Structure 1
Amino acid sequence: MARVSQEHLDARRRQILDGAALCFARNGFHATSMQDVLKEVGLSAGAVYRYFSGKDELIRAIVSEVLSEIRDIFESAARQTPPPPPDVLVGRALGQVLDLKPGLVEHDRPYFPRLLVQVWTETLRDEELRTLIQDGYDAVRAAWVRIVEGYQAAGMMRADVPADRVARTMIAVAQGFAAQVALFDGVPVDALADGVRGLMSMGEPS
């Protein structure tokens, strides 16, 4: 029997994750059954269960992947001297998150932000998922702290505000904008970068 290549296994796992994410984003975690996922990806139960034991494991795998992508964006920025300005960073991060799953678009509407909002509410009942989200948040916040310290060292940002508080605020801005994209029509992705740029331009009243 011919051995299945790792490339084939990775592609099949990707297929399952993308299909499950679309199902969850479209109908919610609790209204989506594993049968719905099987139908979406066009695979047998045996093929899917070879990779994931059920819905909870699929949800955690999707969340873990996204958190890893976001952490990598900010950790890469933190290694630069000085880091890219906040408007560039938050715009880049949100744009990349929305593009992580290009298949999560139906009728020109991105479903991925809706999935993010559902994940946040799911953490209220799933302790393991809550821990995963907490660890991811802590990692992103730590990267943002280093970014803010880079701004302060370069004289780009006032140094009398604790870096951790600026980091928490920048994360909150991105989270809030993702919620807008999920809940409301007509929210352009580049509005976030433009808005942050406008706030950065503020000075003392003339």
Structure 2
Amino acid sequence: MARVSQEHLDARRRQILDGAARCFARNGFHATSMQDVLKEVDLSAGAVYRYFAGKDELIAAIVTEVLQTLRNAFEEAARQTPPPPPDVLVGWVMEEVLGMGSDRRGKGGLTWEGEGGFPRLMVQVWTETTRNEELSALMNDGFVKVRAAWTKIVEGYQEAGMMRADIPADHVARTMIATAQGFAAQQALFGPIPVQVIQDGLRALMSVEMPR
């Protein structure tokens, strides 16, 4: 029997993850069964279970990939000296992240139908962490790494004199992350919103001056 190449194995795993992501984005975790995934990817149960023992493993694999893509995007921005201003940075990161949920494949590899797919999936992940301890631990670990990347960016602002240095960098990083998360939540709940909206809003907030 001919030996299956690693390239073929990787492509098959990619096919399964993409199909599962599309199912989860459309119908949510609980309403999606493994049978739905099998139908979506047009593979036998044996072919899918060779890679993933069940739905929880699929969810964990997708979340891991998304978190890694987020971290890569932030770390790439942190390598710029000085980093781009917050409105440009957050807009750029959101373009990268939202691109994962469109038909233009994101850097993380995942792709599914419709630009609202990624935000909807992330809201479902946040909800799922309240009942799934393993997923919660995975999210916590990912958040720590993403926060570290954001903190490094803020420290770059402070060192360049672009931002006041008397506020802990971690506090600013958490606020920037919350802004990006809130924008993703709005996308999930209310439909597509141009990234320029969050950029304009941040730019306006950055221009606020206290009355003399």
- Equivalent position of 1:83 in the other structure: 83
- CA-to-aligned-CA distance 1:89-113 (integer Å, 9 cap, x gap): 211211111112434224xx52111
- CA-to-aligned-CA distance 1:174-203 (integer Å, 9 cap, x gap): 000000000003522332222222222223
Consecutive unaligned residues of structure 1, counting only runs of 5 or more, are none
Classify the secondary structure of the residue corresponding to 1:118: helix
Find out whether 1:176 has 2:176 as its counterpart: no
Q: Aligned pair count?
A: 204
- Equivalent position of 2:206 in the other structure: 200
Q: CA RMSD in A?
A: 1.4
Q: Which moved more, 1:40-49 or 1:78-87?
A: 78-87
Give 1:88 deviation, angstroms: 1.7
Amino acid paired to 1:189: V
Q: How many Å separate the matches in 2 of 1:74 and 1:148? A: 11
Q: Which moved more, 1:97-106 or 1:50-59?
A: 97-106
- Equivalent position of 2:112 in the other structure: 104
- Kindly indicate whether structure 1 or structure 2 has the higher relative contact order, using CA contacts under 8 Å at least 6 residues apart: 1
Match among 155, 159, 168 for residue 161 of structure 2: 155
Contact preservation (8 Å) 2:116, 2:192: no
- TM-score normalised per structure 1: 0.94
Give 1:32 deviation, angstroms: 0.6
After superposition, residues 128-139 of structure 1 pair within 5 angstroms as 128-139=134-145
Find out whether 1:120 has 2:115 as its counterpart: no
- TM-score normalised per structure 2: 0.91
- Equivalent position of 2:25 in the other structure: 25
Classify the secondary structure of the residue corresponding to 2:32: coil
Q: How many Å separate the matches in 2 of 1:5 and 1:147? A: 41
Q: How many Å separate the matches in 1 of 2:167 and 2:159? A: 13
Consecutive unaligned residues of structure 2, counting only runs of 5 or more, are 104-110
Contact preservation (8 Å) 1:104, 1:110: no
User: Identity over the aligned pairs, expressed in percent?
Assistant: 72
- Equivalent position of 1:54 in the other structure: 54
